[in-house]
């Protein structure tokens, strides 16, 4: 399920990522994130989080 939230960009160009999203995606204070331009918009993600392998065969 996708959850969306709207945030304003401050005068320094920053946005705040809600704590529930940071916890879900393993983002911590001072951590690097990747920001990618896509056809659908901007994607922000944790470049260090490993994907869980699907064990279903």
Per-residue pLDDT reduced to its tens digit, 12-48:
999 999 999 899 888 999 999 999 999 999 999 888 8
CATH number at residue 33: 2.10.260.10
Residue that the structure tokens 């969306």 belong to: 4
Structurally, the chain folds into a number of domains equal to 1
Q: Domain for residue 37, yes or no? A: yes
State which residues form the domain around 27.
1-47
Q: Domain for residue 55, yes or no? A: no
Per-residue pLDDT reduced to its tens digit, 18-27:
999 899 888 9
Q: Domain for residue 57, yes or no? A: no
Half-sphere exposure of 46 (CA within 13 A, CB side): 16
Helix (H, G, I), strand (E, B) or coil at 24: helix
Q: Domain for residue 43, yes or no? A: yes
Residue that the structure tokens 């393993």 belong to: 26
Per-residue pLDDT at 25: 86
């Amino acid at each position: 399920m996708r959850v969306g939230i709207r945030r304003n960009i401050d005068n320094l160009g920053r946005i705040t990522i809600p704590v529930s999203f940071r916890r879900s995606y393993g983002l911590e204070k001072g951590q690097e994130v990747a920001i990618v331009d896509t056809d659908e918009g901007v994607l922000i993600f944790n470049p260090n989080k490993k994907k869980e392998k699907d064990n279903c065969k």
